Each structure stands twice: as C-alpha cells, then as structure tokens.
Structure 1
Amino acid sequence: MQYQKIGNTDIEISRVILGCGNFGGIGSIPSLFGQGENEEQAHEILDAAVRLGITTFDTADGYGGGRSETYIGNWLNKCDEKVRSNIVLSSKTYNPMFIGDSKGLSKERISKKIDGTLHRLGIKQLDMYLSHEMDNETPLEETLSCFNELQKSGKIRAYGASNIDCEQLEKSISICENLNLNRYEWVQNSMSLLNYSEAEKVLQICSKYGLGFTPYSPLAGGWLTGKYQQGLDYERGSRMTLRPEPYGNFVRHQDSISDGLNSMRKISKERFGNISIAGLSLAWLLSDRRITGIIIGPRKSEHFEPIHEALNTRLNETDRIDLANLFPLL
C-alpha cells in the first residue's frame, strides 16, 4: 500500500480509500436504504481492506440513512487498539437521511449532523469532513465559517468538498482568504478513464493551491471492469439495475467504450503481463501523483484483486496518454 498526506494537513491517508456507500443501502437514495451490504458483510469488507493496508474509510451520514456510519462504528468498537489507532475516517453531509429530512449546508444543519456522525462512528473527533454536494440555497460564507468552527471546537480535523466545480472551488478559496478562514484541504469528485476532462480542470486548481484530490468511481460504476457488454443483461444488484441514471452517457457511447476496452486488453497483454482492465484503470489514476488517493467500493472479496494489480503496476507518461486516448471525452 502507498500512503500520502492530504492537502496541507498532517493527516496521512492510504492511496486506496475504502468507499462505504453500499453499507446498509445504495448511496444516499432513501428508496434503497436497507439494501446493499448488511452489517456482517460490511465488516468482512472492512477486515479485507485492513489486510490490504487500507487505513482510510469514506462514508456519509446519508449512506443507508446512517447505517454505513453505524456499521463502521460497531466494527471499530470490536477492533483492537492497534488497528483502531491507524484508521482515518472521512464522512460527508448534505443529503437527507430519511424521507422528510432536510438537506443542505446551513450552519444549523451541519452543526446538528456532525454530532450524529460522531455518535454513530463512536468517536469524539472526525478526521475529515466533506460537503457531499454544493448548496445553492446557503451562502458559501456560512458553510465555510461553520466548518471552521467545527475545527476550532475539535470536532473535525480538516474539511473538504465533494461534487464541486471549478467556479465554486475558486470562489470558496477566495472567500477563505478574505475572511481569514481555513480552506478546503481536498476535493472528492468523480474521475476515471471514461470521464476525466472535467475532473482534470478541478485537479489543476487543486494542484495550484496544494489541495488534495481523492476521486470516486474510478471504475466508472463498473464500466471499466468490462462487465457491461452489449447484448447481455445487467447483473442483478449492479449499479445499472439499481441506479442507472448517472451512467446514461456511457450507454449512449457503448460501442466506442467497448472498442476502447478491447484495445485496453491488448495494451495490458503487450505491456503489463495481462493484468485486468480494472487493475489497469486504477493504475492509470494512481500513476498521477497529483491524486492523493482513489476511492473504491468493492462489494465482494474478489473485488480487491484489481487493487493488488494496480499497486504493483507502474505506468509511464506514454502509457497514460495511450490509455486516455482510447476513449472519447464523454
């Protein structure tokens, strides 16, 4: 495993981060709460992650309506101190936790939600806290000031933003400078070989200001594993059967994606000892040192194998360019 400090903090994270969005639900969708991994299955995945050297877990109060945080907290409670002391926890807030719950990033809401997160995780201080989405109804000044207050009170060590665009990020940095506030330390946006153009723009800003960057969905919801093939039904329980909406653009470009994956297999065989296309996709991200860590969401023990491959594969700049050129800018 590789480790790296995030942003300008002293927080060291594993460069592979365990995403826990399927614990007790499928993301933050209330209609899917109670699905995904049950607590026993979640604990098995957490155990497997630690065996691989993963020290950093990413969750959110909206994942499974709080179940994800609860499962992690219960797992931590049964771990010995040596394991527990090495774990770095990241959580997020914005989405409703139940039907009828509020959403957003107002000071009142964040101040309430952080206490619930700390309680469910069974901790007194959260290492990393993120806004899960941007809130157009709440002034950025209010949200940023609230995160700073949480730092001063000792409830969080650092904060970041997920699903933020270039304009919002630049504005946030400017506000923090003008108000003498601590700024975001990292950004968590979607990025993979199938959608890297917009992420690259944000990544350049992060690099300019010394912020960390931890992309989620590095396998594009499973599309970079090759399991979604034309003419075949989607696997039951997969993202394409439970939550297909984010991947509509991939469906529309399925022919070109299929061609790109076939070319990937050829490159893998010729240059990298025939590792899986999933492993090569992860290695492509990890080979960019501007990326602090990637968030993966394995649902079975065998899903960890591409991570092993990626950590043991080195790409040069020619490899990176060749792989990126295999796919259209979707």
Structure 2
Amino acid sequence: MQYQKIGHTDIEISRVILGCGCFGGIGSAPSLFNQGENEEQAHEILDAAVHLGITTFDTADAYGGGRSELYIGNWLKKCDEKVRNNIVLSSKTYNPIFVGDSKGLSKERISEKIDGTLQRLGTKQLDMYLSHEMDEETPLEETLSCFNELQKCGKIRAFGASNITCEELEKSISICNNLGLNRYEWVQNPTSLLNYREVEKMLQICSRYGLGFTPYSPLAGGWLTGKYQKGLNYELGSRMTLRPEPYEIYVKHQDSIYDGLNSMRKISKERFGNISIAGLSLAWLLSDSRITGIIIGPRKPEHLEPIREALNTRLNETDRIDLANLFPVL
C-alpha cells in the first residue's frame, strides 16, 4: 500500500480509500436503506481492507440512514488499539438521514449532524469531514465558518468538499483568504478513465493551491470492470440496476466504450501480464501524482483484488496516454 499526506494537513491517508457507501443501504437514497451490505458483511470487507493495508474509510451520515457510520463504529470497538489508532475516518454531510429530515450545509444543521456522526463512529474527533454536495440555499461563508469552528473546538481535524465545481472551489478559497479562515484541504469528485478530461481543470486548481484530490467512482459504476456486456442485461444488484442515473451518459456512448474496453484488454495482455481492466483502470489513476488517493467501494472482500493488481503495476507516460485515448470524449 502507498500512503500520502492530504493537502496541507498532517493527516496521512492510504492511497486506496475504502468507500463504505453500500453499508446498510445503497448510498444516500432512503428508498434503498437496509439494502446493500448488512453489518456482518460490512465487517468482513473492513477486515479484508485493513489486511491489504487500507487505513482510510470514507462514509457519510446519510449512507444507509446512518447505518454505514454505525457499522464502522461497531467494527472499531472490536479492534485492538494498534489497529484503531491507525484508522483515518472520513465522513460527509448534506443529505437527509431519514425520511422527512432536512438537507443542506447551514451552521445549525452541520453543528447538529457532526455530533450524530461522532456518536455512531464512536470517536470524539473526526479526522476528515466533507460537504457532500454544495448548498445553494446557504451562504458559503456560513458553511466555511462552521467548519472552522468545528476545527477549533476539536470535533474535526480537517475538512474538504465533494461534488464541488471549479468555480465554487475558487470562490471558497477567495472567501477564506478574505476572512482569515482555514479552507478546504481536498476535493472529492467522480473521476475515471471515462471522464478524466472534465476533471483536468480541477486537478490543476488543486495542484496550484496544494490541495488533495480523492476521486470516487474510479471504475465508473462498474463500466471499467468489464462486467457489463454488450447486448446483455445488466447484472442484478449492479449500479446500473440500482442507481443508473449518474452513468446514463455511458449508455449513450456504449459502442465506443465497449470498443475501448476491448482494446484495453489487448494492451493489458501485451504490456502488463494480462491484469484485469479494473486493475489497470485503478493503476492509471494512481499513476497520477496529483491524485492523493482513490475511493473504491467493494461489495465483497474478493472485489479488492483489482487493488492488489493496481498497486503492483507501474505505468509510464506512454501507457497513460495510450489508455486515455481509447475512450470517447464525453
């Protein structure tokens, strides 16, 4: 495993981060609460991740209606002190945790939700806290000031932003500079071989300001695993049957994507000893030094195998360019 400090902090994370969005539910959708992995299955995945060297867990208060955080907290209670002290916890807030709950990033709401997160995780201080979405109803100054207050009172060590645009990030930096506030230390947006071109500007901004970048959905909802076969129905329980909306653009360009995947298999066989296309996709992201760590959400312990492949694969610049050029500009 590789490890790296994030942003300007002293927080060292594993460059592969365990995404826990399917613990006790499928993401933040209330209609899918109690689906996904049950607690026993979640603990098996956590055990396997730690065995691989993963030290950083990514969750959110709304994942599974709080169940994801609770499962992680219960798992930590079973760990010996050495393991527990090595774990870096990252959570997010914005979405409703239960039907009828509020959403957003107001000072009042964040101040309330952080206490629930700390309680479920069984910790007095959260290492990393993120805004899960941007809140158009709340002034950014209010949100940033609240995160700073949480730092000062010791409830969080650092904060970042997920699903933020380049314009919003630049605005947040300007606000923090003007008000003398600590700023977002990293960005967490979807990034993979299929959409990397639209992420390039964000990576440049993060590099300019010394911010971290921890992309999620590095396998594009399963499209870069090869499990979706042309002309066949999607696998039951896959992202394309549970939450297809973020990936509908890939359906529109599926012929070009399938051609790219076939070429990718050929490159894998010729240059990398026939590793899986999932492993090669992850290796491509890890080969970019601007990426602090990638978030991967395995549904079973065996789904961690592509990570092993990626960590043992080195890509040169020619490899990176060749792989990127296999897919259409979306």
Superposition TM-score, scaled by structure 1 size: 0.99
Deviations along 1:33-75, one digit per CA (max 9) or x if unpaired, are: 0000000000000000000000000000010000000000000
Q: Mapping of 1:179-190 within 5 angstroms?
A: 179-190=179-190
Residue 18 of structure 1 aligns to a residue whose secondary structure is: strand
Letter in 1 for 2:54: I
> For residue 108 of structure 1, what is the aligned residue in structure 2?
108
Shift of 1:88: 0.1
Q: Distance in 1 between matches of 2:20 and 2:183?
A: 25
Aligned mates of 2:203, 2:22 — CA distance in 1: 26
C-alpha distance in 1 between matches for 2:329 and 2:176: 33
The aligned residue for residue 167 of structure 1 is 167
SS of the equivalent of 1:308 reads helix
| Counterpart secondary structure, 2:329 | coil
Q: 2-side partners of 1:328 and 1:258: how far apart?
A: 11
Secondary structure of the 2:218 match is coil
Q: Does 1:211 align with 2:235?
A: no
- Alpha-carbon distance, 1:301 to partner: 1.7
Q: Identify the residue that residue 64 of structure 2 maps to in structure 1.
A: 64
CA distance in 1, matches of 2:52, 2:200: 28
Secondary structure of the residue aligned to 1:224 is coil
Residue 70 of structure 2 aligns with an amino acid whose one-letter code is T
Give 1:132's aligned residue: 132
Question: Using the alignment, how far apart are the partners of 1:77 and 1:201 within structure 2?
Answer: 41
Q: CA deviation at 1:151?
A: 0.1
- Report the 3-state secondary structure (helix = DSSP H, G, I; strand = E; otherwise coil) of the residue aligned with 1:175: helix
User: What letter is aligned with 2:232?
Assistant: L
Give CA-to-partner distance per residue, 1:220-249, whole Å, 9 cap, x none.
Answer: 000000111122111111111111111110
- Report the counterpart of residue 147 of structure 2 in structure 1: 147
Q: Which residue is 1:240 aligned to?
A: 240
The corresponding residue for 2:19 is: 19
- Secondary structure (helix, strand or coil) at the match of 1:303 reads helix
The offset of 1:168, in angstroms, is 0.1
Q: In 2, are the aligned partners of 1:196 and 1:329 still within 8 Å (CA)?
A: no
TM-fit CA distance, 1:300:
1.0
CA distance in 1, matches of 2:268, 2:291: 22
User: What is the aligned partner in structure 1 of residue 194 from structure 2?
Assistant: 194
* 1:225 alignment partner, SS class: coil
Give how far 1:83 is off.
0.4
SS of 2:86's equivalent in the other structure is coil
| CA apart distance, 1:208 | 0.4
- Equivalent residue number for residue 84 of structure 2: 84
Distance in structure 2 (CA, Å) of the matches to 1:12 and 1:313:
22
State the 1:198 CA deviation.
Answer: 1.9
Residue 4 of structure 1 aligns with an amino acid whose one-letter code is Q
Gaps of 5+ in 2: none
Aligned-partner residue type, residue 56 of structure 2: T
What's the counterpart of residue 9 of structure 1?
9
User: Helix, strand or coil for the counterpart of 2:104?
Assistant: coil
Name the aligned partner's letter for residue 119 of structure 2: H
- Taking the aligned partners of 2:125 and 2:259, their CA distance within structure 1 comes to 48
Q: Which amino acid aligns with 1:56?
A: T
Q: Report how many residues are paired.
A: 330
TM-score by length of 2: 0.99
Question: What SS does the aligned partner of 2:34 have?
Answer: coil
Q: Counterpart amino acid of 1:269? A: K
Alpha-carbon RMSD = 0.5
% identical aligned pairs: 88
